[in-house]
Structure 1
Amino acid sequence: METIMSARCRLLLAVSLLGVASVALAQDLPENMPKRKPGLWEMQSTGMGGQPQVMKLCLDESTDRDMYKMGAQMSGHVCSKFNVSVQGSTVVSEAVCRVDGPSGPINLTTHSETRFDGNTSYQTQGHMTYDPPVMGRSEMAMNSSGRWVGECPAGQKPGDMVMPNGTTMNIKDMQRH
């Protein structure tokens, strides 16, 4: 049972991160992309009918930029289409991607709108469709939000992300592997 839950959590996390970070997956980012304030960010996402997933990320300007670059590299490998536009304080993205799932390739189509409130918070509403269905679902609404909560705690460095289960990983380290 733990293996099934672990696989489900990994898949949910991967799908959630794709949805939450969909803005960062553009190959050519608009010059006027909103920037997030350096410090500790709390990000919450909901989808697939489960409990909200909360992650914390220690962010600086370099890490924010590197996350966009990492997303651009990922999108070039898995997305046949990715459009991003900035309309005032709203970033609209649409993508068609092919990702590996537990039972084979999954065609994923997404549309999301992220509204920034200055550089200290954002709200994202998105919709994803899957072909073939994932865990019995062919579509999912995804809502996420992020808010700046203060300075990064002592001992955390930019790129450190605390996952919902308490595990910490560093996004910058992931880029090196």
Structure 2
Amino acid sequence: MKASRIILPLAAAALAAVFTATVAAAPAIDMPKRKSGLWEIKMTMKGQETIARPAAQHCIDEKSDDLMRQSGKGDTQCTQKDMRRDGNRLVIHSVCKFGQSTATSEMVFTGKFDSDYRADIHTKYEPPMMGMKEANMLIEAKWTGACKPGMKPGDVIVPGMPAGMPSINMNEIMKRQQ
């Protein structure tokens, strides 16, 4: 198996973790709640080479969505956390430390959140993180219905993950970070 087939999903998962931590660490400003059920989440990395990952599937309920929002409360890794509404847009600006890198992010969310949403994210890393100086990510999410049989709230299925790791549970990850 090519190393890139393993590295790309892991890099996408790492960037998703940075995104999740940054959103969770933002001050509470009536962040819209997502509808319980199965969400299809497509991430596209934009840049010199646009990389579209197959859509991940994330099973959520109100408790798991609240847990993701609460996980960043009191987080000292972020020195700046600003969130504001701009019409139908939600704009988040943050400066956070991840390991040796400082990530400065600008995120713009649009959508209904009960059926779909979109996030345009631009992040600069100093020094570069995993070899990246900056990342431009587009996240498009849509609610598809009830979670699949066998999935529990917090489960995320990411196509292309290494064998033996078909899904991760974000609830367990968030609880460990508290």
Same fold judged by TM-score > 0.5? yes
| Class of the TM-score when normalised by the shorter of the 2 chains | 0.7 to 0.9
1:20–1:124 CA contact under 8 A, matched in 2: no
- Report deviation, 1:119: 1.3
Name the structure 2 match of 1:84: 83
Q: Distance in 2 between matches of 1:8 and 1:99?
A: 19
Letter in 1 for 2:88: S
Deviation track 1:20-62 (CA, whole Å, cap 9, x = no partner) reads 6643331x311x3211111100111111632325211111111
Name the structure 2 match of 1:117: 112
Letter in 1 for 2:12: L
Residue 144 to residue 175, structure 1, CA distance change in 2 (3 Å): closer
Name the structure 1 match of 2:150: 155
Q: Distance in 2 between matches of 1:40 and 1:8?
A: 24
Residue from 93, 97, 102 that aligns with 1:107: 102
Name the structure 2 match of 1:52: 53
Would you say how many aligned residue pairs link Structure 1 and Structure 2?
169
Q: Distance in 1 between matches of 2:62 and 2:55?
A: 22
The question of 1:165 aligning with 2:166 is answered no
Name the structure 1 match of 2:63: 62
Letter in 1 for 2:61: D
2:21–2:71 CA contact under 8 A, matched in 1: no
- Report deviation, 1:117: 2.4
- Report deviation, 1:122: 0.3
Name the structure 2 match of 1:130: 125
SS in 2 for 1:77: coil
Unaligned runs of at least 5 residues, structure 2:
none
Residue 3 to residue 78, structure 1, CA distance change in 2 (3 Å): farther
The question of 1:38 aligning with 2:36 is answered yes
Aligned-residue RMSD, C-alpha: 2.5
Unaligned runs of at least 5 residues, structure 1:
none
The question of 1:14 aligning with 2:14 is answered yes
1:93–1:113 CA contact under 8 A, matched in 2: yes
- Report deviation, 1:160: 1.1
Deviates most, 34-43 or 164-173: 164-173
Quick one: percent identity of the two aligned structures? 28
SS in 2 for 1:46: strand
- Report deviation, 1:80: 1.0
